[in-house]
């Protein structure tokens, strides 16, 4: 079997699946990616955007999806209001949400609004409520984790864009575009996922 490794810039509103949505109301990966037998590594919610890795390499898919292996994922997150130092420290140290505690994360305020394509539809905007952007790097990928983390410290997420999975970056892709990994990217990915004793 020939393995394929693709990067895709998932637009807002697209479901991270190839099967048709219930009632056919939403776009899926099938509307953008004509490559057979590849599957997404992890997920992005319908209302999230950004980098998605797809492959037909089952072992790599497992090692990048299993939270025991600590692979970094970086997000740009627009939140309501401006988090103070205490809230940022909570996010960095880990937070109790639902029935688990999140791992330590790398969290920083972005100095300016990142250069991203406009979202369609745009976020809800309230004149009296400022917003700010954070860069958040996690080593786990639980369901709606970033949104739950920012909500838990009082700063709800308005827009969420995954910009990196380890060394793989969103750079050079527009929403709805995909490409194969370069040989250099694939070599680095193989080094990252080379079998070794996972941390537990």
Catalytic residue numbers, as ranges: 45
Cis before residue 121, ω within 30 degrees of 0?
yes
Q: Given its phi and psi angles, is residue 94 left (phi above 0), alpha (psi -120 to 50 degrees) or beta?
A: left
Distances 197 to 47, 65, 119, 194 between C-alpha atoms, Å: 35, 15, 41, 10
Q: Are 52 and 40 in contact (CB under 8 A)?
A: yes
């Amino acid at each position: 079997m020939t393995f394929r490794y693709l990067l895709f810039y998932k637009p807002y509103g697209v479901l991270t699946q190839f099967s048709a949505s219930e009632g056919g109301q939403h776009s899926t990966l099938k509307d953008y990616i004509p490559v057979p037998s590849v599957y997404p590594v992890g997920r992005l919610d319908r209302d999230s955007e950004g980098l998605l890795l797809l492959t037909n390499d089952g072992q790599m898919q497992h090692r990048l999806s299993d939270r025991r292996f600590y692979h970094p994922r970086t997000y740009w997150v627009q939140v309501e209001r401006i988090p103070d130092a205490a809230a940022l420290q909570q996010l960095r140290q880990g937070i109790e949400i639902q029935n688990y505690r999140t791992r330590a994360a790398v969290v920083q305020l972005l100095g300016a609004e990142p250069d991203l394509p406009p979202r369609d539809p745009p976020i809800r905007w309230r004149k009296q409520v400022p917003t700010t952007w954070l860069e958040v790097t996690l080593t786990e990928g639980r369901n709606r984790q970033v949104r739950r983390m920012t909500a838990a410290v009082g700063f709800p997420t308005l827009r969420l864009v995954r910009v990196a999975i380890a060394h793989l970056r969103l750079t050079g892709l527009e929403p709805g575009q995909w490409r194969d990994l370069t040989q250099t990217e694939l070599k680095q990915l193989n080094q990252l996922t080379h079998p070794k004793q996972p941390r537990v």
